[in-house]
Amino acid sequence: MRPVEVDVRARDGAARTGVATTARGVYRTPCFMPVGTRGAIKFLSAADYERLGAEIVLGNTYHLMLRPGAAVVAHLGGLGAFAGWGGLTLTDSGGYQVFSLEPSVDDDGVTFRSTYDGSRHRFTPEGAVATQELLGADIQMVLDVCPPLPSPAAVVRTAVERTAAWAARAREAHTRPDQALFGIVQGGVDPALRAESAGRTVALGFDGYGIGGLSVGEPREQMLPALAAAIAELPDDRPRYLMGVGDPASLVEAVALGVDQFDCVLQTRLGRHGTALTEAGKLHVKNAAHARSDEPIDASCRCEVCARHSRGYLRHLFQVSEPTAARLVSLHNIAWTFQLVDAMRVAIEAGTFEALRRRVLAAWG
C-alpha cells in the first residue's frame, strides 16, 4: 500500500488545511466528497463534477457489486473511467448498506439479500477488498460493523471487536499498491471505546483512517466527544475521514476538531425535495412565499444556479414536477458546500476559523 500523506500547510487550533497525496493525484483538505452511489451523483454527470470543482467522488461498493457487477466495472476501466470522471474516486465497503438490511452476521462476515432481486450474498472482509480492487477506486474502505444508535453496550463492544478483527484481515488481503486502503474506527458514542478502536486500527498501519457510525441519529453533544476521542489517537500525517456527515454545522464542528474529509448524500437528497442550503440556513424553495420572488437561492453564492435562476422559477419547476428542478437545487447544494469548505480553508490559513465556525453555527446550529 502507498500511504495517503497529508502535508498540513496551516493550522488554527486543531483545525488544519493542507494537501493529501494519493498514488494518482492530490486533493485539498478539508475536502467534501459528493456521493455517486451507483456510479453517478443523482441528477448530475461527470461534466458537472468537473465544473463544480469536485476533487473526489464516492461510489458505493454494495450497489455497484450488485449492478452492474464489479467485473463489469473493471472491464470498462474501473470506476473513474466507467463514469467518465477523471478525478479521484473512493469506494466505501458497502458495510453501512449491508447492515441497514439487518443481515445475518458472524465473526467471519455477513450474509444478506439483494435489494434488487432478493438474491442471497455473502460478504467478508477479504471479499470487500477484492470487490473494491476490481472497482479500482483510488481509495477503498475496509468492511466494518456499524451498529445502530442507540445500541446496548454489548452490541457496541462486539462491533468494535469485529471491526478490529476484520480490519486486520482486510489489511492482509489488500494487494493493489496503487490503491489506498483506509481503516475504520467504531465505538458508538463512548469516548473510551472510540479511543480504543482508533488505537487498534492505527496499530495495523493503514493509509488513512475513517471514523464511522456517527451522525446516525445521536445528538451532536454526544457525537463530538466521541469524535474528539478518536481523533486524539489518529496520526497527524494521515487523512481523518468522518464518514457520512455533511450538514454545515457538523462540518465546521468536525473541522474544528481536526477532521480532513467528509462525504454525504444530504446535499442531493435535500435538493431533490426542494430544500436548498444557504448562508441563512435551509430554504424551502417550494414555499408559496417564493412564487413571485426574483431573488436567487442565496445572494452570496457564486454557483451557476444562483447566477441564472430565481426562486420563483425554481418553485414553478417543482410545482409542475419538472425534473430540472431537482437537478438545479442539487447543483446549488453541492456548489454551496464546496464554497463552505473553501471558506474553511481560507479561514484556517488566516487564523479566523473560530469566527467562521460561530457564523455557521448561528445559522445551522
d(C-alpha 175, C-alpha 132), whole Å: 11
Name the helix (H) or strand (E) containing 181. strand 180-185
Which value, in Å, is the radius of gyration of the alpha carbons in the chain? 20
d(C-alpha 125, C-alpha 105), whole Å: 12
Phi-psi region of 275 (alpha: psi -120 to 50; beta: other; left: phi over 0): beta
CB 65 within 8 A of CB 37: no
CB 256 within 8 A of CB 223: no
Measure CA of the first residue to CA of the last residue in the chain; give whole Å: 39
d(C-alpha 331, C-alpha 267), whole Å: 9
Pairing mode, strands 275-278 and 281-284: antiparallel
CB 215 within 8 A of CB 202: no
Helix (H, G, I), strand (E, B) or coil at 199: helix
- The catalytic position among 48, 138, 207, 263 is 263
Classify burial at 320, counting beta carbons within 10 Å of its beta carbon; exposed 0-12, middle 13-18, buried 19 or more.
exposed
Q: Which three cell numbers stand for residue 332?
A: 446549488
- The catalytic position among 12, 92, 144, 260 is 92
263 carries an active-site annotation:
yes
CB 216 within 8 A of CB 149: yes
How many CB atoms are located within 10 Å of the residue 310 CB?
Answer: 16
Name the helix (H) or strand (E) containing 83. helix 79-83
Helix-helix angle 153-173:125-135, to 10 degrees? 50
Which residues participate in catalysis according to the annotation? Answer: 92, 263
